[in-house]
Structure 1
Amino acid sequence: MTGRTGPAGRTFEALPSTKGSRAPFAESWWGREWLRSLEESSLDSGRLSRGRTYARGGAVGAVTVAAGSVAAMVRGSRPAPYRAKVRVEQLTDRQWDRLLDVIAERAANIAALLDGDMPAGLADDAAAAGVPLLPGARDLDPACSCPDWGYPCKHAAALCYQVARLLDRDPFVLLLLRGRGEHELMDELGRRNTARAVAEAAANQALTGAGVGPAGGAGSAAPPASTGDPAGAAFAARTTRAPLPAPPPVPEVPGHGPALVGSADPAAGLDPAALELLAADAATRAQRLLAAAIAPRHADSTPPAPLTEWQDAVRLAANHPTTDIPARIAANCGRTPAELTAAVHAWRHGGAASLDVLENPWTPPTGRLDRAREALRADWADGKPPRIRTWRNRWTIDGHNAQLRLSRDGLWYPYAKKQDTWHPTGPPDPDPTIVLTALLAQ
């Protein structure tokens, strides 16, 4: 992908189709946060789903990014493409001043920008200074030449999803949308750094001074002894506090627990092998919790719900697939080995949410499955998807041992029938077309 600069901003070539891919739509932190803003501002998840399908299918043409807007031609169901545009609220001059100060305060920020990268922590630093670098739910204003009055329509949604892929490749696109391009930003940072260096040199020279050495020769005299300052005045005159040291890196692998088997005769009722397993599992969970705790924007995340005894047993069996553990867990939980095997497969594709899809049918809100059917028909290659039988949140495909199940959080899970029992076969996706296409290709 290349971007060329013009008088109106930068134009990026159309990105290739990724139809059928199961990879997340945005891989970078900036791309995922852009999509979060889009999905929070949308009033129609069905149009978002179709827009995502359009973007994956290569329907979005060359994208032009300018200060405060992004535009592209997007192919829809009609022969002529539509012109989609999304306006983004620009930062004010005062906000840009504060943002540049935030960047200049940290040498690591400047080094990263010079390398063509934008550290994720910059968003938090900017927010602390009152500058919303990432657009909020009300900062995106989509428009399109199509007759659809959706907010956004599927064509504008496709453009927004494509912007997320651009941010994966070049996060400076976000700064341009907010009002300033990469070169303008770096030139201003250079001027500020030069001015700061000159001011610091002048201050050092004023403190040090020049004089004659004790032997009468030329040289620098020691600075005069300080008489001290009142504590209140010194505290009031402080500029910035020294930053906290960076947290230690997360260990690449969890630590090893104690070796209990064979070390001593166990007390009655104790199983050394089981204790070793539980200690290893605790170390693995602690390492993952630590990695999550020091990740960017951890404070904004929602803690996961506590697991039930059955969910935790399934998690343990999924994470430690030794020969005897599943059988012992199944027996202790009152489940058959086949039930535990299906639960383990579900867990590996989505944790507790996927296990809920396996075990608990539910009834989606009125109209939700109808919109999904319309999207499936519109996105299917010939417009004629396989015949579907619906029961609650489950779609069974006629003529195939295939089924799609909708989770409570809007993801479609693929299932296949084996020996008269439905089993999960892969990861979920918000787009039923992608899941069904992959499932029927197996």
Structure 2
Amino acid sequence: MDEAREERGARGFPAFAARRGGRARGRSFWAGAWTDAVEDTWTEEEPLKKGRSLARTGRIGPITVGPGRISAEIHDGGATHTAVVTLRELDDQEWELLWEKAADRPAVTEALLAGELPEDLLESVEDARLRLLPGYGDLEADCDCGALDHPCPHAAALCYQLSWLLDSEPSLLLLVRGRELAGAVEELKSELLLRAMTADAEADSDDADAEADSDGGADGTEDVPVADGGGSTGRARAPQDDVAPPGVDPVAAWAARGASPLPAPPPLPDRPAGADEPVTGIEADPLDRLVTDAAVRARGLLAYALGLTAEPAPPLDLWRDTVRVAATHPDPRVPARLRESCGRPPHELDRAAAAWRTGGPAGLDVLEHTWSPSAQETARARAALAAGWEADEPPELEVRDNHWTLTRQGLQLRLGRDGRWYPYRREADAWWPAGPPHADPSDALMDLVEA
């Protein structure tokens, strides 16, 4: 059985290092969907809590993921146990049905053909009345530890670490159900090819029927019976003066069409990156910076048009534009000249540029301005930390306005007016930006603590 699975694409992954505190669940959509399904299937909280703690200890060995099976050796209390989690594999007919439903959704098809696992695939799974995520009676655990809990903490820890793998390779969900991603894509291509061939055949049949129907009347005549001199009858063509020519009057067609709707606005692109080479081939070329700046401003206007921001970005004053140039210009001589001429201490411009690089104008605002969130916003943040930290107790933070501080560690989170959490680290006598912002305070704090 193990050799058969190996031939069918079982894959090995190196052991994860220990993680201090933080969440035991993966971060991605598929990781969250997997852990939610596992926790809904195995409802006893105590073994799951032990499994989360064990998953972070670094005592789980390399993980093997194969069709219908996940396994690993776990070192616990001086003993080594082998934990195996199994799921039912989908049979060939079920996979065929799934790809039929996926082919009905162009966005799902496009993502799968690109080697991605789109979130909307779950809708195709539901249309096919199948399961991709585990459910009751579908997820089994086996371990030689002899624990009475079901699942035992070792199997639970293995499931949580699989969610970490799903962060980078969501297609492992297909593998545990019996298909490698490459094989799944080929089966989907076959379904699409079959559909195209069927559509072509139907189109050819419709064209032949239309041509047959047009014989005898397309030229404005019809067959009428005539008699010859011997008393027999035949068919002759008689003109039909009252038959209108085929087609639609162009004037009437144009009047009926109405005004065409404007096309939908394009999706918001990624932030433009600076060009590797100057646009004109001249070192310190200002044109590439102007192009990039125009792209950034256009992106901001598009974000407002799409309703992603409450208002368009305001124009920059002299200080903010100085910070922007210092943060984004590739020539190190430019920030050096700005430090000398900006009229502020050099370290102040450096901190402001670091804040700009982490969050643009919003990041600079978080550095320079303190504000007081509402009691409801503070309560939601505390609840998010308690739910996402998943240790026995989240670390105690000192809260003052929008600053949440771990004083002894010299770490701080700042809540921006854009709803994101900006990490800061104390260096000498000043707080410096320490990384990109997060929407979830528990994610921001975990990354800050583990950095």
**TM-score for the superposition, normalised by structure 1:** 0.51
Aligned residue for 1:172?
171
On the 8 A contact 1:47/1:157 being kept in 2, the answer is yes
Aligned residue for 2:69?
69
Q: Distance in 2 between matches of 1:67 and 1:172?
A: 12
CA separation of 1:67 and 1:411: change in aligned 2, threshold 3 A: same
Aligned residue for 2:190?
191
Matched, 1:205 2:204: yes
Q: Distance in 1 between matches of 2:111 and 2:31?
A: 18
Secondary structure, in 3 states, of the residue corresponding to 2:117?
coil
Aligned residue for 1:413?
394
Q: Distance in 2 between matches of 1:129 and 1:22?
A: 37
Letter of the structure 1 residue corresponding to residue 90 of structure 2: L
On the 8 A contact 2:103/2:192 being kept in 1, the answer is yes
**Shift of the alpha carbon at 1:125?**
2.6
CA separation of 1:428 and 1:52: change in aligned 2, threshold 3 A: farther
On the 8 A contact 1:37/1:137 being kept in 2, the answer is no
Matched, 1:29 2:29: yes
CA separation of 1:70 and 1:325: change in aligned 2, threshold 3 A: closer
Letter of the structure 1 residue corresponding to residue 56 of structure 2: R
Q: Taking every aligned residue pair, what percent have the same amino acid on both sides?
A: 27
Matched, 1:151 2:206: no
Aligned residue for 1:386?
none
81-90 or 102-111: which moved more? Answer: 102-111
Q: Distance in 2 between matches of 1:24 and 1:225?
A: 70
Aligned residue for 1:351?
381
Aligned residue for 1:101?
100
CA separation of 1:246 and 1:22: change in aligned 2, threshold 3 A: farther
On the 8 A contact 1:142/1:152 being kept in 2, the answer is yes
Q: Distance in 1 between matches of 2:27 and 2:143?
A: 27
CA separation of 1:428 and 1:246: change in aligned 2, threshold 3 A: closer
Letter of the structure 1 residue corresponding to residue 309 of structure 2: P
**Shift of the alpha carbon at 1:93?**
4.2
Letter of the structure 2 residue corresponding to residue 125 of structure 1: S
Q: Distance in 2 between matches of 1:252 and 1:24?
A: 34
Unaligned stretches of 5+ in structure 2? 220-244, 248-263, 269-302, 315-364, 407-412, 414-439
Matched, 1:117 2:116: yes
**Shift of the alpha carbon at 1:185?**
1.9
**Shift of the alpha carbon at 1:424?**
7.1
Q: Distance in 1 between matches of 2:27 and 2:369?
A: 36
On the 8 A contact 1:13/1:61 being kept in 2, the answer is no
Letter of the structure 2 residue corresponding to residue 60 of structure 1: I
**Shift of the alpha carbon at 1:123?**
0.4
Aligned residue for 2:311?
256
CA-to-aligned-CA distance 1:361-390 (integer Å, 9 cap, x gap)? xxxxxxxxxxxxxxxxxxxxxxxxxxxxxx
CA-to-aligned-CA distance 1:390-409 (integer Å, 9 cap, x gap)? xxxxxxxxxxxxxxx899x9
Matched, 1:83 2:138: no
**Equivalent residue runs for 1:210-289 within 5 Å:** 251=306, 253-256=308-311
Letter of the structure 2 residue corresponding to residue 140 of structure 1: L
Unaligned stretches of 5+ in structure 1? 216-223, 227-244, 260-318, 330-339, 358-404
On the 8 A contact 1:18/1:58 being kept in 2, the answer is yes
CA-to-aligned-CA distance 1:246-269 (integer Å, 9 cap, x gap)? 998774742239x9xxxxxxxxxx
Q: Distance in 2 between matches of 1:12 and 1:177?
A: 13
Letter of the structure 1 residue corresponding to residue 178 of structure 2: G
CA separation of 1:254 and 1:146: change in aligned 2, threshold 3 A: same
**Shift of the alpha carbon at 1:107?**
3.3
On the 8 A contact 1:14/1:62 being kept in 2, the answer is yes
Q: Distance in 1 between matches of 2:308 and 2:188?
A: 40
On the 8 A contact 1:47/1:154 being kept in 2, the answer is yes
CA separation of 1:134 and 1:126: change in aligned 2, threshold 3 A: same
On the 8 A contact 2:24/2:55 being kept in 1, the answer is no
**Shift of the alpha carbon at 1:351?**
2.8
Q: Distance in 1 between matches of 2:171 and 2:391?
A: 31
Letter of the structure 1 residue corresponding to residue 168 of structure 2: R
Aligned residue for 1:57?
57
Secondary structure, in 3 states, of the residue corresponding to 2:148?
coil
Secondary structure, in 3 states, of the residue corresponding to 1:206?
helix
**Shift of the alpha carbon at 1:77?**
1.5
Letter of the structure 2 residue corresponding to residue 147 of structure 1: G
Secondary structure, in 3 states, of the residue corresponding to 2:77?
coil
**Shift of the alpha carbon at 1:85?**
0.5
Secondary structure, in 3 states, of the residue corresponding to 1:176?
helix
**Equivalent residue runs for 1:259-408 within 5 Å:** 326=372, 346-347=378-379, 350-351=380-381, 353=383
Secondary structure, in 3 states, of the residue corresponding to 1:412?
coil
Matched, 1:9 2:9: yes
CA-to-aligned-CA distance 1:159-184 (integer Å, 9 cap, x gap)? 10111122222222111212222233
Q: Distance in 2 between matches of 1:321 and 1:67?
A: 50
CA separation of 1:416 and 1:182: change in aligned 2, threshold 3 A: closer
CA separation of 1:406 and 1:90: change in aligned 2, threshold 3 A: closer
On the 8 A contact 1:35/1:164 being kept in 2, the answer is yes
CA separation of 1:246 and 1:24: change in aligned 2, threshold 3 A: farther
* Aligned residue pairs, count: 278
**Shift of the alpha carbon at 1:13?**
2.1
Letter of the structure 2 residue corresponding to residue 62 of structure 1: P
CA separation of 1:42 and 1:57: change in aligned 2, threshold 3 A: same
Secondary structure, in 3 states, of the residue corresponding to 1:70?
strand
Q: Distance in 2 between matches of 1:424 and 1:344?
A: 19
Q: Distance in 2 between matches of 1:75 and 1:198?
A: 55
**Shift of the alpha carbon at 1:323?**
7.7
User: Which protein has the larger Cα radius of gyration, Structure 1 or Structure 2?
Assistant: 2
CA separation of 1:111 and 1:406: change in aligned 2, threshold 3 A: closer
Q: Distance in 2 between matches of 1:69 and 1:101?
A: 26
Secondary structure, in 3 states, of the residue corresponding to 1:132?
coil
CA separation of 1:96 and 1:406: change in aligned 2, threshold 3 A: closer
**Shift of the alpha carbon at 1:117?**
0.7
CA separation of 1:246 and 1:52: change in aligned 2, threshold 3 A: farther
Secondary structure, in 3 states, of the residue corresponding to 1:12?
strand
Aligned residue for 1:39?
39
**Shift of the alpha carbon at 1:69?**
1.6
